[in-house]
Amino acid sequence: MSRLSMATARWLVVSLAVLVSSVSAEQVPGGRPLAKDFGRSDEVIGRTDTLLSAARPAIRVGEAALGNMVCDGLRWFLSNSTSLRSDLCMINSGAIRANLAGDITPANVTAALPYGNYVVLLRVTGAQILAALENSVSSPNWTDPEGRFAQVSGIAFSYNASAPIGSRLLNVSLRTPSGPAPLDPCAPYALLTNDFMAGGGDGYSGLAAAARLLAAGPLVNASVVAYVAAHSPLAAGLDGRITACQAAGDAGCPAARDVPAAPEAAGDAGCPAARDVPAAPEVCPITRDTVIGRTDTLLSAARPAIRVGEVALGNMVCDGLRWFLSNSTSLRSDLCMINSGAIRGNLTGDITPANVTAALPYGNNIVLLRVTGAQVLAALENSVSSPNWTDPEGRFAQVSGIAFSYNASAPIGSRLLNVSLRTPSGPAPLDPCAPYALLTNDFMAGGGDGYSGLAAAARLLAAGPLVNASVVAYVAAHSPLAAGLDGRITACQAAGDAGCPAARDVPAAPEVCPITRDTVIGETAAQRPPPLMCDLRRPPGQ
């Protein structure tokens, strides 16, 4: 088994991040860019040569290498996939439930981080951080400590486990690139945490009212999967972030409590009022406007061209979706069909996530279907069934993994002239009875644009990542783009036209396909391939 390369992991991160930039809080109230089934895969993505333990009570009383890796990974994910930055991270140890050792798969990460929590970035004051850290060490019983104890990054603290609850912190300092720095109770900081803590869970009530810089980011376990893939073998260890003391003055502990007092109020008697800066938007515009790639040729969505034949932009979209699926999951597709009506804007020159979202604006997500060759033929006939070629409909499909020609002047329902699969070893015939994995969008998979035959197809991936997010990842990994035409679609006015078949040569779909030893005649939920990324929340489709 092979693991994802660093480049693949990097652009997986970019693709997930665009979910933040392309879907606003208004469109998805409380929604998650990724859902809890991301990590169900047995593909090895990395390894650790030392045990990263989630054993209790150790992870709930002090620094743990696994906790360090989780918090470091979440901060890395954020900074490498958006323009947002965090000053520190706090994750409740109760969210970490299993060890990581040896080879690591997404399934292992999901077992370690099983709750489907997602990343939240809060704007907090230093005083709120101090209160959160006091809550972290407020367990009334250190032999069976509570899950509120925080694993951290970007900050270091020591505490006296035997002191009264509410005054256990001994000292706190920020860990910055230039070294330790004092925590200012009045200063604003960007705290990365999970939605459970951000909502006040585990006693972190002071965080519930904090301003959200990122209200519903990607899943914690998805972020850590990407980090593991990009940083294998992991070098996580202990580096002095948390020091547990039994009394002030213990070896390695401060001689006395040295925690800055939190002022009671803003204004003259407390924090300077000027420090109360305006809230940052939930999505920073720079994220959408960051140049992620370029094309030296215009990739046009102009009508009617994109709705009557092959276009470079359509090729790139379908190729990009298939690349993303194969590089971010264990699933593979045989072909792709995307309705041209889903493609609405050109790409030219420098390309940003905002440009991709303008070209693919509908918030559709990837669906992978198991279809027969006969269903593929029916879908292609629907694709070329427009009654008016001067103003053709958006059902016309851009494709990958397949080639076809059609006679635009033939009767609807018999316009296909020929069809062949495009395989790594060359063209191959399409078998009406054989099963194929068709990548499409949820609009077409639901029967939209006349694709009613797809609505009943079995789902191999019911609701994958956003189409535009996947294309962002592809653009970033393949810049400058080399998209062009390569003979996927040939539009003819009659059979025998130059470059067109002399006669219709489309395999007839038998009424009943023969049953062989390899024919799938039924499936249980356990046999069905589990979706690796599913239940993406999105705005309504077109």
Identify whether residues 340 and 420 lie together within a single domain.
yes
pLDDT of 279? 36
Would you say residue 173 has pLDDT above 80? yes
Count the domains in the chain.
2
In a domain, 420, yes or no: yes
Identify whether residues 206 and 329 lie together within a single domain.
no
pLDDT bin (cut points 50, 70, 90) of residue 248 is: confident
Give the C-alpha separation, 459 to 15, whole Å.
Answer: 22
In a domain, 115, yes or no: yes
Identify whether residues 237 and 297 lie together within a single domain.
no
Identify whether residues 184 and 76 lie together within a single domain.
yes
Would you say residue 285 has pLDDT above 60? no
Identify whether residues 166 and 297 lie together within a single domain.
no
pTM passes above 0.85: no
Average pLDDT, the chain: 83
* Cβ neighbours, 10 Å, residue 18: 28
- The count of C-alpha atoms lying within 13 angstroms of the C-alpha of 485, restricted to the half-sphere facing its C-beta, is 10
Identify whether residues 152 and 299 lie together within a single domain.
no
Q: What is the 3-state secondary structure (H, E, C) of 252-308?
A: CCCCCCECCCCCCCECCCCECHHHCCCCCCCCCHHHHHCCCEEEEEEECCCCCHHHC
Q: Higher-confidence residue: 361 or 37? A: 361
CATH number at residue 187: 3.90.780.10
| pLDDT tens digits for range 343-369 | 999 999 999 988 999 999 998 889 999
Beta strands in 375-429 (DSSP E): 397-400, 402-407, 416-423, 426-429
Would you say residue 10 has pLDDT above 90? no
In a domain, 34, yes or no: no
Identify whether residues 206 and 322 lie together within a single domain.
no
Identify whether residues 88 and 229 lie together within a single domain.
yes
In a domain, 267, yes or no: no
User: Which positions ≥6 away from 419 have C-beta within 8 Å?
Assistant: 376, 377, 380, 402, 403, 404, 430, 506, 507
pLDDT of 264? 53
In a domain, 183, yes or no: yes
What residue type is assigned to position 57 of the chain?
A: P
The domain of 212 spans: 46-245
Report, as an integer, the average pLDDT of 430-438: 96
Domain boundary among 475, 491, 507: 491
In a domain, 14, yes or no: no
| pLDDT tens digits for range 502-532 | 889 999 877 777 655 444 444 333 333 333 3
* Cβ neighbours, 10 Å, residue 19: 27
| pLDDT tens digits for range 270-281 | 454 333 333 333
Q: Residue 85: which of 76, 94, 73 has the closest Cα?
A: 76
pLDDT of 515? 58
Identify whether residues 228 and 319 lie together within a single domain.
no
In a domain, 24, yes or no: no
pLDDT of 79? 87
User: Which positions ≥6 away from 527 have C-beta within 8 Å?
Assistant: none
Identify whether residues 360 and 443 lie together within a single domain.
yes
Identify whether residues 225 and 297 lie together within a single domain.
no
What residue type is assigned to position 136 of the chain?
A: S
Task: Give the dihedral sign, CA 117/118/119/124.
Answer: negative
Helix axes 6-22, 312-328, angle to 10 degrees: 110
Identify whether residues 176 and 50 lie together within a single domain.
yes
Q: Higher-confidence residue: 411 or 518? A: 411
Classified as helix, coil or strand, 436 is strand
Would you say residue 454 has pLDDT above 70? yes
Domain boundary among 228, 245, 262: 245
Pick the range with the lowest mean pLDDT from 253-267, 306-320, 481-495.
253-267
- Per DSSP, helices labelled H in 407-492 are 442-445, 467-477
pLDDT of 41? 65
Domain boundary among 465, 491, 517: 491
Would you say residue 99 has pLDDT above 90? yes
In a domain, 281, yes or no: no
DSSP states of 162-223: TSPTT--EEEEEEEETTEEEEPPTTSEEEEEEEHHHHTTGGG-GGGTTSEEEESS-SBHHHH
